[in-house]
Amino acid sequence: MCKKENPIPGKIIAVTNRSLCERPFLEQIKRVCETKPAALILREKDLPETEYEEMARQVLAICEEYGVICILHSYIETAKRLERQYVHLPLPLLRTCMQKTENEEKQIKFMSGNLSMDQKNKNKLILGCSVHSVEDAIEAEKLGASYLTAGHIFATDCKRGLPPRGMEFLKQVCETVNIPVYAIGGIGLNDGKIDSVCECGAAGACIMSAFMAI
């Protein structure tokens, strides 16, 4: 299957979790960006949106300094206020987002006619989505996701007690959808697993714990 063009030009996506950091969070972000991952997902979704937005401004400045794509998480309105295209969403939030977008577009068309292609492209978000089954992946693609993260693939302390979904699951997801898929869960920087997931058809891997301790 020929995949759509990948909006993330690289194999490795760093994912943040400030609770895993032993040093100040922004210092850790700088260390991560120095390694030049393709992108960084700012995943601090436990923060209220006002606090998340303030943190996002600081992290975006660091990412821009190092030429790393910063992907915001969960808060679409924050992304719009900060004029950022990249947002990663859990599947329930993607459903809500696309329903809201559809309703807004219908209203705009009713009030002022169809949007021009330039207007549509200008306002287009690049949406990632977390999936945990083949059915999730199919739905996320239909809803308009640009890429997926699928997991968890290997055993990880972040999902302690939950069995990993494994490589066969990853392969099935990659074979089923026509958008890039990134494996997540139990993947380190130098353990050979990035090559393994790419052999299953993944575009690359998301790595959290190793980056938060680098």
Has residue 168 got a pLDDT over 90? yes
Q: Looking at residue 161, what is its pLDDT?
A: 84
Q: Are 186 and 17 in contact (CB under 8 A)?
A: no
Q: At what angle do helices 25-34 and 49-66 cross, to 10 degrees?
A: 30
For the chain, the C-alpha Rg in angstroms (whole number) is 17
Question: For the domain bounded by 12-212, which CATH number is listed?
Answer: 3.20.20.70
Q: 117 burial class (0-12, 13-18, 19+ CB within 10 angstroms)?
A: exposed
| Secondary element (H or E) of residue 206 | strand 204-207
Based on the residue annotation, tell me whether 152 is a catalytic residue of this protein: yes
Q: Looking at residue 112, what is its pLDDT?
A: 46
Q: Looking at residue 105, what is its pLDDT?
A: 59
Residue appearing with tokens 């002022």? 112
**Model confidence pLDDT, tens digit, residues 117-165:** 334 444 589 999 999 999 999 999 999 999 999 999 999 988 888 999 9
Candidates 73, 88, 132, 152; catalytic one: 152
Q: Are 146 and 115 in contact (CB under 8 A)?
A: no
Q: Which of 181, 95, 107 is nearest to 137 (CA)?
A: 181
